Amino acid sequence: VQLQASGGGLVQPGGSLRLNCAVSGSTVSVNDMGWYRQAPGKQRELVARITRGGNTDYADSVKGRFTISRDNAKNTVYLRMDSLKPEDTAVYYCSRIFQDVYRKWLPVGGWGQGTQVTVSS
């Protein structure tokens, strides 16, 4: 399975971006999918997820500002980011995810190429 994230860039605080994750080798509609981000010096964190059933959930830090969605026909997962803040600056990655016995969401497989998001004036 290959995952290609794109759509990042430089944006001013308060601005918006839409990230894209093109998936090949599997079908997004039968996978639980997530967007992660990793800021310099910090651990990678799961910020948004969408289950195969279409349920979504978000980290508290992005709730109300980010929206995850998918297009089954294009086999692509999106992350719409609004009201961006400097602390959203990070490399963003997409991944298939699964829930372990402790109900913790974990990534499946290797990481594809991420996309850099920089929020700065």
- DSSP 8-class letter at 109: S
DSSP state of 91: E
CA dihedral 103, 109, 110, 113 (to 10 degrees): -80
Indicate if the pLDDT at residue 100 is higher than 80. yes
Per-residue pLDDT tens digits for 16-27? 999 999 999 989
- The tens digit of pLDDT for each residue in 25-73 reads 989 989 999 999 999 999 999 999 999 999 999 999 999 999 999 999 9
Specify the pLDDT at position 80.
98
pLDDT band for position 14 (cuts 50, 70, 90): very high
**Local confidence band at 111 (pLDDT 50, 70, 90 cut-offs):** confident
Q: Is residue 9 very low, low, confident or very high in pLDDT (cuts 50, 70, 90)?
A: very high
* Percent of residues in the chain assigned helix, strand, coil, to nearest 5: 5, 55, 40
- Residue 102 in 3-state DSSP? coil
Please compute the mean of the pLDDT values over residues 71-83 and round it to a whole number.
96
pLDDT of 75 over the 90 cut: yes
